[in-house]
Amino acid sequence: MKIALLGTGLIGTFYTMSIHGLRSRDEVVIVYSRSEERGAKFAKENNIPNWTTNLEEAVSHPDVDAVIVGLPNNLHKAAIFAAVDAGKAVLCTKPLARNAEEAWEILQKVEKAGIFHGYLEDLVYTPKHLKAHASVENGAIGNVLWVRSREAHPGPHSDWFWNPEISGGGAIIDLGCHCIEIGRSFIGKDIRPVEVVCWADTQVKPIEAEDHAIGLVRFQNGAIGQFEVSWCFRGGMELKDEVAGVDGSIRIDNFLRTGFEMFSAPGKKGYVAEKAETDTGWLFPVGDEVHELGYNHMFTDMFNAIESGQNPIESFYDGYVVNAIMDACYLSAKTKKWEPVELKEWRGKTKVEPLSAFVEYDENHWLVKKETLPDGRKKVILKVKSSGEIIEKVD
């Protein structure tokens, strides 16, 4: 796969590291940067044969099969439109757009042109997420009732992301897009998100956007997706997920505390991990950062899908749904009440059964709980079907 990479920031670095080290046959053949100095330096450091400050030149390069958009959020639409007009497959980093209206225009553009499109939501491609998701699909924890996803760190690397006019918001648009899609992935992307309630505030940073937010997304079957995002967290980057099902639960720590710990009194003297604030004291390096953050599996899925003519796990439609959920979150943060998720088109299930996991103890009782007491006796808590009375029995 021959790639035109648009953007030379941190995400462009991660993407290039993954692509050049992944299948050993893919290559970034041209890179676009808005800075001549940065473009030339990036191309030299990553052995990219061509660089340009002309976006049209990058997407129209004759060797290019696919365009990857890794630019500030306000430039996604124009860059994607240029790639579509050049007839190239297009992949876009998260979030797809600054709001749902913009995302819908992007989706309409690629679909009307029949262009392959992939939404680069890396955190649903982490090795731990893929393993956990497969377990959920196989019924290991039963129907999913609740998903909690948390991402927190000291804030973005680039100045533009602190400006809501350019980025579209604050911690919600930056981190919430990850957490919301993680929730959808576990609950089921064919289950419609119905409404949200969200708290957001600016607690620490002297900015116009929110630096901390907590939200609940209610799905049509009654499942709840919970997200917690912050630009105020100290100590690195925390990526944690919890999934609760009727028959079990899953806990995932993707970053920060992953089993690799180091203490350095003089300092590591170099890069530790993304968002790490120090290189002295207790440190939490990451063995293979692009792999642990999901980039390798993400691009494998995207490129295989392009070559086989299939759809990737994450498409621009997914990006649109996430933008619509975030729009409802921003509205809820202002109104202080539940707000509906407005979707111009829903492509999942239209009728779903409410989540229910009632278990019969016998023909007259529902089972509420069973447990073993400290002295070894067995206790069951029951509900009498006829009266609704809650009783207990001890062996």
Q: Are 344 and 203 in contact (CB under 8 A)?
A: no
CA distances from 41 to 27, 173, 240 (A): 17, 30, 35
H or E, element range at 290: helix 289-292
Length of the chain: 395
Share of the chain above pLDDT 70, in %: 99
* Residue predicted with more confidence, 236 or 152: 152
Mapping DSSP onto H, E and C, the string for 32-100 reads: ECCCHHHHHHHHHHCCCCEEECCHHHHHCCCCCCEEEECCCHHHHHHHHHHHHHCCCEEEEECCCCCCH
Assess whether pLDDT exceeds 80 at residue 24.
no
Assess whether pLDDT exceeds 70 at residue 91.
yes
What is the per-residue pLDDT for 270? 79
Axis crossing angle, helix 295-308 with helix 10-21, rounded to the nearest 10:
60
The partner residues of 60 in beta bridges, in order of sequence, read none
CATH of 124-340, one of 3.40.50.880, 3.40.50.740, 3.30.230.70, 3.30.360.10: 3.30.360.10
Whether 2-94 shares its CATH topology with 124-340 is answered: no
What is the per-residue pLDDT for 357? 77
Task: Locate the domains of the chain by residue range.
Answer: 2-94, 124-340, 359-394
- The number of CA neighbours under 13 Å toward the Cβ of 92 is 33
Give the separation between CA 83 and CA 78, rounded to whole angstroms. Answer: 9
H or E, element range at 174: none
**Full-model pTM:** 0.92
CATH 3.30.56.10 describes domain 2-94: no
Mean pLDDT of the chain: 94
Q: Are 245 and 143 in contact (CB under 8 A)?
A: yes
pLDDT tens string 109-139: 999 999 999 999 999 999 999 999 999 999 9
Assess whether pLDDT exceeds 90 at residue 278.
no
The partner residues of 394 in beta bridges, in order of sequence, read 379
Q: Are 192 and 346 in contact (CB under 8 A)?
A: yes
What is the per-residue pLDDT for 147? 98
